[in-house]
Structure 1
Amino acid sequence: MEEMICLVTGAESGLGYAAARGLAREGATVVMVCDHQKRARKARVKLIGESQNPNIDLIIVDWFSQEDIKAKANEILHQYHAIHVLLNLAEAYFPIRKLTGSGKERNFAYNVLAPYLFTNELSSLLMAADGARVLNLTYESHRLGAINFSDPGLKYNFSIRDAQRQVALARLSWAYELNRRLAGTGVDVHAFSTGARHPATIKQVPSFLYWTVKLATRFWERTSEESINTLLRLALSDDYERLSGKYLFRGQIIKSSPITYNQEFNQQLWETCAAHTESSIVAYQEIQAMLLS
């Protein structure tokens, strides 16, 4: 574990912080990738104290800015020789539809495009680890989700419930496609759910509850001992070694929604993300075929 480098997004609070603490206690170098500078700095100091591990680094990134995501990924590329574990845990949901500075709907930009782009930009370090694991947080609500490829920003039919369901489906779908593209590289990719229900899946949120829901979505994450132990087992245990492209619910492999096994659907989502980020990964097997031809 002392030679492992683990990146945890959303590590300043909730499940992200708990996961970072667990990895740090195992002796790994933990890179906290956070978007709230003040909160993240306090969390880093607390994490070092609780884990007695000084090898805790901090990267501050603006998940709404693709330029900043690429810049911070480039810093990581120059600072580390490999990434052994990447936990995509950062998430935030916004009940009112607004666009980012680059014209992307905030829920889709923060929860789908940002981790997609960040993971793509770091793919070379994942492959360099010879046995890396990527885990995408998602939810059972993906089964009720749909993706409007012509309007992923839900311009004409927005609700926080539908936005969250779309995110859950998209994070699972691109995890499967990432797994396909990295097949043969030694990188294992999974989507996982702790079993918790996201507040946005319960009902449409009235505008007068905006700040209540915004606060709740920051602190509602699953921090039970069971959830944390399950996540750490997925990230570190030999039980999941060389097992890739799975959906894990509370640590158990189960079938995800049938649409997620449709390769054309997954590729279409990937291409949609690629078009919105100008970033992609050519399938490793396709590269091998080109070299042999």
Structure 2
Amino acid sequence: MNSQTMAGKTVLVTGGSSGIGKATAVGLAARGARLAITGRDRGRTEAAARDIRAAGGGRVEVFIADLSSQAQVRRLAGEVLRSLPRIDVLVNNVGGYWNTRHVSADGLERTFALNHLAPFLLTGLLLDRLRESAPARIVTVASNAQALGRIDFEDLQGERSYSGSRAYNQSKLANVLFTYELSRRLTGSQVTANALHPGVVSTSFGAEDPGRMQQLAVPFLRPFMKTPARGAALSIRLASDAGLEHVTGCYFANGVARRSAKASYDGAAAARLWRVSAGLVGLPAE
């Protein structure tokens, strides 16, 4: 792909200080894009920005926020809107896994708050800027874990019963349902919305609170996992490939559009999840 494919484009990547997010930013900078990244730790995020600048030689904006906090998502969105006159691509990359139940600053289960509500709220707050920048793209990093997910509307926050894997699977199915519903709502806007599975990638994902299986299996599996650069390849393609400019409402894995879980095509569940999510973050449901 031509190194200048993204020349003149501005891309915001959440969770861009390490792992797949950083590799995505590096790859898009090398294609000529102006990058903006978010991270929780200023030192690590600034260091990542230096690496991204070295890859693309361009300007990299740094924004610091813990996206599990809605107040910080709102502050971030305000800073982004003041700093970036246009947003051509939003990559909702940030995510996490916790084996035991953690509660966010808003009193919500942290996996649901970070993996689903953060991209839902941030996208909503930036949507007008994306529309103004059209043609624009929204790329959400999901996972094949969506195939094992179930949206438990009676216990979304895992208060009655919690499992780290169940919470994660639910959040990744929520990513796909959100993407499909968002795509429907953006019909005719020239803003596309797609989700993807990056593959099993060797990062520090889940390291804060790993499950026992993770602790036992990951050291043995790590040599067979993708590098962050390989894991970022699909995010980079969905953000930059000219041939995908009009492709929307799709789930990509292994480099191609694929059918996601049967539950992800439940339009009533997607609409209900949208309404519930809007209520939880204080956005209009319509």
What is the TM-score of this pair, normalised by structure 1? 0.86
| 1:186 and 2:217 aligned | no
Match of 1:291 in 2: none
Structure 1 residues 51, 221: CA separation in 2 closer, same or farther (over 3 Å shift)?
farther
Shift of 1:79: 2.1
Q: Among 244, 250, 256, which residue is 2:254 paired with?
A: 250
Stretches of structure 1 lacking an aligned partner (at least 5 in a row): 283-293
Match of 2:26 in 1: 21
Q: Distance in 2 between matches of 1:240 and 1:144?
A: 28
Shift of 1:209: 5.5
Q: Distance in 1 between matches of 2:62 and 2:138?
A: 19
Contact 2:201 2:226 in 1 (8 A): no
**1:130-145 matched pairs, under 5 angstroms:** 130-145=134-149
Structure 1 residues 94, 81: CA separation in 2 closer, same or farther (over 3 Å shift)?
same
Contact 1:132 1:186 in 2 (8 A): yes
Q: Distance in 2 between matches of 1:196 and 1:246?
A: 20
Structure 1 residues 266, 74: CA separation in 2 closer, same or farther (over 3 Å shift)?
same
Residue-by-residue CA offset, 1:87-110 (whole Å, 9 max, x unaligned):
111111111112122210111111
Shift of 1:2: 2.8
Q: Distance in 1 between matches of 2:82 and 2:188?
A: 24
Residue-by-residue CA offset, 1:228-279 (whole Å, 9 max, x unaligned):
3332221111221211100111221111112211211101111111111011
| 1:172 and 2:176 aligned | yes
Contact 1:15 1:222 in 2 (8 A): no
Q: Distance in 2 between matches of 1:131 and 1:188?
A: 8
Q: Distance in 2 between matches of 1:185 and 1:8?
A: 22
Q: Which amino acid aligns with 1:12?
A: S
Contact 2:103 2:109 in 1 (8 A): yes
Shift of 1:13: 0.5
Structure 1 residues 78, 224: CA separation in 2 closer, same or farther (over 3 Å shift)?
closer
| 1:38 and 2:43 aligned | yes
Match of 2:211 in 1: 205
Using the aligned pairs only, state the percent identity.
29
Q: Distance in 2 between matches of 1:252 and 1:47?
A: 27
**1:38-187 matched pairs, under 5 angstroms:** 38-53=43-58, 55-187=59-191
- Aligned-residue Cα RMSD (Å) equals 2.6
Match of 1:9 in 2: 14
Contact 1:139 1:197 in 2 (8 A): no
Q: Distance in 1 between matches of 2:83 and 2:262?
A: 40
Q: Distance in 2 between matches of 1:264 and 1:221?
A: 36
